């Protein structure tokens, strides 16, 4: 198997693993939604048209008490997708239809996988593979959860609530070799942790974007001065103007 074939196999393997975990979370969402009093069609339609896992759980928790709070909370949490779209750039595709469809699957996982791909030519394929895979399994899981109802438990009981942060951290680790990225990540993490006890769910993640300022104001390391030949030194044989031919 060539290098390209090996990379494709790893992509399919990783996409299948995270999509399977997402399907179980979607199953739990469907069950929790109907157990909370929503009609069966509501979580199914929400997963198809909204497709925003954390926001959907938040909406189910708030919608019976305050629909306005559910909408505003969802908008607040998903505001983080704006910089996602800017970072992905051409990975969504060149045409208007491709970009419109791609915007629907701009989520944490598809963005992280795409940005972790160093080859720009493969970035689009990675984004679509992960994004579409998760979209399909999330909706299948939601449908099964609605049908099964309250028989499904909390995904935290299976440890799946930790699968997404762990997977995203593994994808981000190579990027942390860069000094500026590392500074932004550490600053953003500290801001989110400190803000969590003080702000509603979802807002600390938005405040973590302020961590980018740590990279902006990070002092730039001084570059070593280029070596210049000493006065009166003889030119190096086989060189022209002090540079190798």
Where do the domains of the chain lie?
Answer: 3-160, 178-220
Q: Which has more confidence, 82 or 155?
A: 82
Region of poorest pLDDT, from 49-58, 101-110, 131-140, 196-205: 196-205
CB atoms within 10 A of CB 219: 5
175 SS3 class: helix
Q: What's the confidence (pLDDT) of residue 35?
A: 79
* Tokens of residue 199, six digits: 């702000």
Percentages helix, strand, coil for the chain, rounded to the nearest 5? 75, 0, 25
- Residue 168 in this model has a pLDDT that exceeds 60: no
Q: Which has more confidence, 171 or 245?
A: 171
pLDDT tens column, 72-112: 666 666 666 677 766 777 777 777 787 888 888 888 888 88
pLDDT tens column, 12-28: 888 898 888 888 888 88
CB 77 within 8 A of CB 52: yes
Quickly state the pLDDT bin for 66 (edges 50, 70, 90).
low
CB 18 within 8 A of CB 130: yes
> Mean pLDDT score of the chain, rounded to an integer?
75
CB 28 within 8 A of CB 154: yes
Three-point CA angle 192, 194, 200, nearest 5°: 65
Q: What's the confidence (pLDDT) of residue 27?
A: 87
Beta-carbon contacts of residue 120 (< 8 Å; ≥ 6 apart): 90
Taking phi over 0 as left and psi of -120 to 50 as alpha, with beta for the rest, 209 belongs to alpha
Q: Calculate what percentage of the chain has a pLDDT beyond 90.
A: 8
- Residue 177 in this model has a pLDDT that exceeds 50: yes
């Amino acid at each position: 198997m060539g290098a390209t074939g090996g990379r494709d196999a790893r992509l399919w393997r990783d996409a299948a693993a995270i999509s399977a975990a997402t399907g179980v979370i979607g199953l739990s969402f469907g069950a929790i939604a109907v157990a909370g009093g929503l009609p069966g069609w509501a979580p199914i339609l929400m997963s198809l048209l909204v497709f925003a896992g954390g926001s959907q759980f938040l909406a189910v928790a708030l919608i019976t008490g305050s629909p306005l709070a559910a909408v505003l909370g969802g908008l607040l949490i998903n505001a983080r997708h704006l910089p996602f779209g800017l970072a992905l750039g051409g990975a969504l595709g060149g045409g208007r239809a491709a970009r419109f469809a791609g915007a629907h699957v701009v989520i944490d996982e598809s963005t992280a996988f795409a940005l972790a791909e160093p080859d720009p030519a493969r970035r689009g394929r990675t984004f679509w593979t992960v994004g579409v895979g998760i979209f399909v399994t999330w909706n299948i899981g939601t449908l099964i959860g609605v049908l099964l109802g309250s028989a499904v438990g909390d995904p935290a009981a299976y440890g799946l609530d930790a699968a997404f942060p762990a997977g995203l951290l593994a994808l981000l680790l190579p990027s942390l070799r860069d000094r500026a990225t590392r500074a932004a990540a550490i600053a953003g993490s500290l801001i989110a942790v400190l803000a969590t006890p003080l702000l509603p769910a979802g807002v600390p993640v938005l405040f973590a974007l302020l961590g980018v300022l740590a990279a902006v104001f990070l002092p730039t390391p001084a570059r070593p001065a280029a070596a210049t030949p000493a006065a009166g030194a003889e030119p190096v044989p086989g060189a022209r103007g002090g540079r190798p031919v």
